[in-house]
Amino acid sequence: MNKKFSRRHFLGLAGLSAAGLALSGCNGGKKAKVQGGSRTVKDLDGNEIEVPASPQKVVAMSEPTLDNALALGVPLVGATAGRGQSTIPNYLSDKGKDIPILGNVAQPNFEAIGAAKPDLILVDGTSVNNNQPVLDALAKIAPTVYTGYPGGDWRENLRLTADALNMVDEAEDLMKDYDKKVKDATKKLEKYQDKTFSIIRWQGNNAALILKELPAGRALTDLGLKRPPVQDREGKGHSEPVSQENLSDIDADYIFFGTLGGSSVGNTQAGGSVDTEGAKEAIAEATKVPGFEDLYAYQEDHIIPVDGSLWTSTGGVLLMNTIVDQVVEFLV
């Protein structure tokens, strides 16, 4: 994202009305504490921010903060659209389908956010990054807590989000539940411990690698599943493009194959489907690229279409749990 974007640039974007939309079914089985007053928390950079002791009108302006807020069950009055989508990420639709959309990951709609009258805004580097003018503009609307960097540890993001919401104990419980799920799943996946697994996002006629620092990569690591040598590393906090000349870099015993409907950093609202049907369509298009049908995973019918909003983007504890569940479903 261009660090020189100005507040005026964002204010000029088309408004997305939040009027008339009500939040429903978003508590994730947990309830936020209700108490008056305020408290001081520290964001990722150590800045002290005064927030409500019990936020009741929260806006989550990134996919990870939305995911974690839904998991914690806080009252949400707005969120960002998922990458390549006009709604929240597909995998969160059951919990938050009626949450008003107040911009996309790169472009907050300040007018709509202000109209929602939040008492707390949650954001991280996967959305506005370190764009200080945007952060300053958000902070003028409501206390704004910055909870994570691109490619950062999802657990740290969850803890900082939970601290801002005064729900630290609940977050620790969520992480314990995840760890138990991973332990149980790992036992079911023992026969795959000597196999390699690739995660890619297909965009147009090209692939991008999801490496080990991104959520889906972290989930495979937690499950003890190996990556092919070229993918056995961390990246820069986002997908890494692969040229057609190096298409073999995406190969493995198995490939988890997703798409974001053509979305890219410079075009976050590109059309096209991001779900498994979209992935299947992208696989069909990929077969037209020289060398794709020569991949071992293709020859063995080991390319697994997945929801790109889940596998090839970013998120929080709900994303991590869902990926673990799907790996077991796909392989066992």
Q: How far apart are CA 188 and CA 195, in angstroms?
A: 14
Between 319 and 105, the higher pLDDT residue = 319
Q: What is the mean pLDDT of residues 183-191?
A: 98
**Confidence tier at 15 by pLDDT (50, 70, 90):** very low
Percent residues over pLDDT 70 in the chain: 86
Residue 14 three-state SS? coil
pLDDT higher than threshold 70 for residue 295? yes
Q: Where are the domains of the chain?
A: 7-166, 181-331
The fold of 7-166 is: Rossmann fold (3.40.50)
> Could you tell me where the DSSP H helices lie in 77-199?
93-96, 110-116, 132-141, 154-164, 168-188
The pLDDT value recorded for residue 23 is 29
Q: Count other Cβ atoms within 10 Å, centred on residue 29.
A: 8
Q: Please, what is the average pLDDT of the chain?
A: 88
Whether the model clears a pTM of 0.75, i.e. scores above it, the answer is: yes
Query: Helical H runs in the chain?
Result: 7-11, 63-72, 93-96, 110-116, 132-141, 154-164, 168-188, 215-222, 276-286, 296-299, 308-311, 317-331
Output the six-digit token pair for 32: 């936020």
Ramachandran category for residue 224: left, alpha or beta (phi over 0 → left; psi -120 to 50 → alpha): left
Read off the pLDDT of residues 43-77 as tens digits, 9 standing for 90 and up.
Answer: 999 999 999 999 999 999 999 999 999 999 999 99
Could you tell me the fold of the domain covering 181-331? Rossmann fold (3.40.50)
pLDDT in tens, 231-265: 999 999 999 999 999 999 999 999 999 998 754 43
Tell me the average pLDDT across 285-310: 97
Exposed/middle/buried for residue 186 (C-beta within 10 Å: 0-12, 13-18, 19+):
middle
Separation of alpha carbons 99 and 63, rounded Å: 13
Examine domains 7-166 and 181-331 and report if their fold is the same: yes
